[in-house]
Every structure is written in C-alpha cells, then in structure tokens.
Amino acid sequence: MKIATYNINGIHSHFAVLLRWLEETQPDVVCLQELKATDDKFPRKELEKAGYGAIWLGQKSWNGVAILSRDGEPHETRRGLPGDENDSQSRYIEAAVNGVLVGCLYLPNGNPIPGPKFDYKLAWFARLQAHAEELLAADIPVVLAGDYNVIPTDLDALNPKSWVRDALFQPESKAAYANLVAQGWTDSLRHLHPDAQIFTYWDYFRNRWERNSGLRIDHLLCSPVLAPRLRQAGVDREVRGWEKTSDHAPTWIEISDA
DNA sequence: ATGCCTAATGCAATTAGA
C-alpha cells in the first residue's frame, strides 16, 4: 500500500497537476494540505471520477486538509486536532483506511519569530504530541503524514545557515519534532535513507528549484506497529518541475500487507 | 531588514506562505 502526503498549495489552482500525478502514480492513500478552499468548493466529483473517495476539512483562503483513498471512502475518525476548542484553523483530519489509521496534518508555519504565530506553532505542536501519545497507546498501525513545517536537521536543507532565523529551523521547532520521534515514531524517509539529502519543498522564488535549494519538511511518521512494514519511501520530485505546480512535491511510503 | 514568486480575494493591493 502506497501512502502519500502532498501540500497542494491551492487545490483549484493546481488541480490538473494533482490529477496527472494521481493517474501516473496511483497512490492508495493521499493526505493533502493547503486546500485553500471552503468545504463546498472541494472537487469531490472530479476526484471520484479519478477513482478516489475523500474526506476533507476546508477553510476560506488558507489551510485545509483532506484524505483521499482509492479503495472507497476513508472512515473518518477525527476532524480537528484536540486540545483547543477555540482553534478555528483547518489543519488536521484523521481516518481509518485499509487497516491503517491515517492522520493528515498541516502544522503552522510560525513565521515571523518571535511572535504570536510562532507561539501558535509551538502550542499546536504540543497538542499534536499529546494526541500522538494517545495514538501510540492504542498500539495500532498509524501514520502521521503531512507538512510539519520543520527542517529536522542540517542534512534537510541545502544551506542550513540561511534558515537559522526561520521558524522552520528554530531549536524549539526541531526539539518538538525530535520529541515526537523520541515518543516512538519512525521518520520513514530518514529511516530508509539515513544519509541522503532529500527535499520535499522548493521556494518559488530565488530560483530555488533550478538550483535544487530545497527543504525536507513533509514527513510521514509511522507508529511502532506499522514501522516494521515499511518497504520504500521517496519523493516524486519531478512533479515540482511541472507547469502550474505546487512548491511542494508528493512524498510517499510503501508498506507491506499486515 | 527587505524583495524575490505564487495563491486567494476580488479587481488593487493586501495577507500569507516558508
């Protein structure tokens, strides 16, 4: 089973790219972030025509997450991250698909620092940790996939020094991510490719794609029950070079049957 | 410290992304 995460950066403006990628690679499950669309504008019928059932949590202009499944509708288990009833940003949705619990997340960017946006990022991270702990306690196959907006280590940026004043590379951000891994989660791409420099995002400006000046910020974390089934992990980086494309590339894992 | 590029809103210029 192939499970992917893809920050689409506007599902309408990049829908042609999404459809082409789905058709060419046929992932079984897809976590989407940054829909930038309200619930009523979600292209359910078009995705159904492409062979995918979906659940989604939209929002006007910003954020928005969805889970697509090639094998019927995902069975929704949660919408919104627990821990703050006043949080109105659409950044988390969760579903059971083919015996795997899939959490799709879009962690806050956090810039500029310091400030309320960075505070929100760290608070959201703390809530994610609390929820992740509960998922671990269930002792089931879980993947937490999405745009974490964290550069975990120096290896995950072409030029780490240029990010030291960025929210994605703050000690607090890196520590929060490392704490998740320390809980028992496996960073799939890093686990299978311990020494490779792999990017999932390239800024639109400064010719960062042409110069391959990217970041690894989209991650798939596997629970201890799921991790032994990890077979492959990678990035469909050619998608980043297509016309009218997102600034992220689809990132995926292949897991064996239970 | 700021702009570069891109998307959404909505029709100009602002907000946000990372």
Domain ranges of chain A: 2-255
pLDDT one digit per residue (tens) for chain A, 258 residues: 999 999 999 999 999 999 999 999 999 999 999 999 999 999 999 999 999 999 999 999 999 999 999 987 899 999 999 999 999 999 999 999 999 999 999 999 999 999 999 999 999 999 999 999 999 999 999 999 999 999 999 999 999 999 999 999 999 999 999 999 999 999 999 999 999 999 999 999 999 999 999 999 999 999 999 999 999 999 999 999 999 999 999 999 999 998
For residue A213, give both structure tokens.
């000046």
State the burial class of residue A32 (Cβ atoms within 10 Å of its Cβ: 0-12, 13-18, 19+): buried
CATH of A2-255, one of 3.60.10.10, 3.30.310.10, 3.20.20.70, 3.50.50.60: 3.60.10.10
CA distance A153 to A198: 12
**Which residues of A are catalytically annotated?**
106, 147
Q: Are A173 and A167 in contact (CB under 8 A)?
A: yes
Instruction: Please report, rounded to whole angstroms, the spatial distance between the CA atom of protein residue A172 and the C1' atom of nucleotide B3.
Output: 28
A9 Cβ nearer than 7 Å to chain B strand:
yes
- Looking at residue A128, its pLDDT comes to 98
Query: Contact, A196 vs A232, CB < 8 A?
Result: no
Cβ of A217 near strand B (distance < 7 A): yes
What pLDDT is stored for residue A258 in this prediction? 84
Its pTM stands at: 0.98
Strand B nucleotides below 7 A of a protein CB?
1, 3-9, 16-18
What confidence score (pLDDT) does residue A72 get? 79
Output the 3-class SS for A64-124. CEEEEECCCCCEEEEECCCCCCCCCCCCEEEEEECCEEEEEEECCCCCCCCCHHHHHHHHH
